[in-house]
Structure 1
């Protein structure tokens, strides 16, 4: 039975026709020819009465119209069934059509849309799971430490309170990054670009990172006169996330370098900024995934896991801010061990250059 239904669905003689209007015109023309031909044959050759010939012709025309019309409307029926599946919260089945007309184009566009909706739903589920995972660890650690203080297992001395404060700060950082991420999804963020001295923009970020992570040394290699046409707040986000990521992976005694120069070529004119560390580096196969949400690359290769403070959101937020400027960000080969991340920000179209 299913085999017969499959064969019936394959009867689409007009699929190669590129226009729905042409299909209707061909169907009308075929029906007229069939009606006239069958009636003439029944009356002239078989000597039937005219009314009998017209009845037989009408039945044949109805059968042909049913076969042709079934193939023409099959994508619409498939889309209706798929919409019902989507409305019920189930994934929509792919639509099978070879039609080249407008209905076929609609079916293919619907298939792409259904696939994108399924991907977005999967990303939403994964995001919720990852958010729960990221929040559970500091909350559990904070609860255990507070319980120890309340039960008298540990004295409320400076080291104990410092650990509690560190967990609270980590929770605050997580919530801040989630809010930034929500802003990127909502598309509500805009740029306030203006000429900014790069050295003056980088200096306070470096001071902040040195205070938070005093282990590695941070070197700034930027010309004092270099000016970039950027949004200072967004570029500070980029620098903070890149430098914090580099300092965390470089560790105590490591080296982090931030450099910037004017970028001018035949295709782009703007800013080239690089942040380099001498940590364990990132495997080449993870160069793209590190910019995905919660994608911290291989923990073994990074020499750390997300549980030590890396949320997996910093590089995703950095990429969003760079793309908002019309630029690009990527991991590039480093000189020796370590990781080098390169940011390119093009200048705005217009007479303003730097």
Structure 2
């Protein structure tokens, strides 16, 4: 036999290793067959479970009807213990939460991959194309979900950076989302609202304090310049005017310090039991003495402190007692009386009324004047700092209206006690009510 005849054509693939792609395709094929076999097993088991579930459903319907009957006829701790944990768990289930979205992404990805592998097995399509297609589909879905999660976070990061630089007008969109990102957006927006309000209050406070300090300083400077230039002599009347401006400046500084202490919470409450009648009587006498002293200082200066207003005290029952910090309550009553006197008509009357509250040692106070009153549209701004609102100008000769901080201090002192201060309806004048809680009720 010749050499040509002895030469045989080698078998295709003989002596070669299978390609890696063919191995991957073979592995995926066997994996898909295993999934199909397992799906058949699950299908047969599901038919068995379906028949059993029909029986269980009928039993559960009967049990549900019995439970509803029990709940309708008897509501007690037993029902709460039985259905409380389930209800609490259901309340925490959020169908639109991020966890639910991620779980849905995993399920959809597995479903797409399994479906494509099933199609490949039945249509004899090469698995490498199916694998590439399934990976592309999974990546597209993942990218879509990831963008929906990261885009709000990027926006929140931008807004937070703007807020840290002092721009409190920025807000996060998408606060109406029904997932954790929506909750976070609402929290950031509420924080921005609070910071914007505080920044506005700070700017208003600086402007108002500057204005209030400038007025007495300008008056004092004018008086001293006249004395230095020889325009006026340093007689008692001129010095009295300078002293009045100095005292006004000192009162403003003391008021600001009191308000700062209240804001910082460094003013401790020293509660004790005291009799209301002698206590309030002393506060009213002190208010009369202060008014008389101020009137003596300001006589001849062109402005006068009100001394024509009558203060009336009404306490019932006479043996009424209260449990509070007397020093802080003195601030409340003194500021309310001062505000009422400034806005009273000539020879008007200011009434301070005290009654027993709803709890032991609690107290209901009321200060009523005969002035023009406060428009109802301004009630919510009465206790703001430096607010003089829509109130008619104070009555009486030379009334300057004060600093606008007295009612703010009264509100903070009441808040320290956990009480309440408000403007109430009145047929005439302004009526401010204060409720102090006293001792908490005993619970057995």
TM range (shorter): 0.7 to 0.9
Residues 274, 342 of structure 1: 8 Å contact kept: yes
| Alignment correspondent of 2:31 | none
Residues 139, 250 of structure 1: alpha-carbon distance in 2 compared, 3 angstrom cutoff: same
Question: What does residue range 63-78 of structure 1 map to in structure 2 within 5 Å?
Answer: 63-78=140-155
Question: Is residue 213 of structure 2 the alignment partner of residue 112 of structure 1?
Answer: no
CA-CA distance at 1:194 after TM superposition = 0.8
> Structure 1 residues 166-175 or 87-96, which shifts more?
87-96
CA-CA distance at 1:326 after TM superposition = 1.8
SS in 1 for 2:311: strand
| Alignment correspondent of 2:160 | 83
| Alignment correspondent of 1:257 | 351
Which residue of 126, 131, 152 corresponds with 1:54? 131
Question: What does residue range 175-186 of structure 1 map to in structure 2 within 5 Å?
Answer: 175-186=253-264
* 1:183-206 CA distance string (max 9 Å, x none): 222122232111111122223322
| Alignment correspondent of 1:7 | none
Which residue of 182, 187, 205 corresponds with 1:127? 205
* 1:137-192 CA distance string (max 9 Å, x none): 11111111111122121122222211111111111111111111112221222321
TM-score, normalised to structure 2, is 0.69
| Alignment correspondent of 1:209 | 287
Residues 288, 269 of structure 1: alpha-carbon distance in 2 compared, 3 angstrom cutoff: farther
In structure 2, runs of 5+ residues without a counterpart are: 1-93, 292-306
Which residue of 360, 381, 386 corresponds with 1:289? 381
CA-CA distance at 1:334 after TM superposition = 2.7
| Alignment correspondent of 1:234 | 328
In structure 1, runs of 5+ residues without a counterpart are: 1-15
Q: Distance in 2 between matches of 1:235 and 1:36?
A: 76
Q: Distance in 2 between matches of 1:86 and 1:156?
A: 55
| Alignment correspondent of 2:418 | 326
CA-CA distance at 1:290 after TM superposition = 1.0
Question: Is residue 355 of structure 2 the alignment partner of residue 278 of structure 1?
Answer: no
Q: Distance in 2 between matches of 1:210 and 1:252?
A: 16
Q: Distance in 1 between matches of 2:347 and 2:373?
A: 16
TM-score, normalised to structure 1, is 0.86
CA-CA distance at 1:44 after TM superposition = 4.6
| Alignment correspondent of 1:344 | 435
Residues 315, 354 of structure 2: 8 Å contact kept: yes
Which residue of 21, 25, 28 corresponds with 2:103? 25
Q: CA RMSD of the aligned region, Å?
A: 2.3
Question: Is residue 403 of structure 2 the alignment partner of residue 311 of structure 1?
Answer: yes
| Alignment correspondent of 1:5 | none
Residues 329, 97 of structure 1: alpha-carbon distance in 2 compared, 3 angstrom cutoff: closer
Residues 284, 310 of structure 1: alpha-carbon distance in 2 compared, 3 angstrom cutoff: same
SS in 1 for 2:382: helix
Q: State the number of aligned residues.
A: 331
Which residue of 219, 225, 229 corresponds with 2:312? 219
SS in 2 for 1:291: coil
Q: Distance in 1 between matches of 2:361 and 2:326?
A: 18
SS in 1 for 2:174: coil
Q: Distance in 2 between matches of 1:154 and 1:40?
A: 108
Q: Distance in 2 between matches of 1:112 and 1:216?
A: 47
Specify the structure having the higher radius of gyration (Cα): 2
Q: Distance in 1 between matches of 2:175 and 2:311?
A: 59
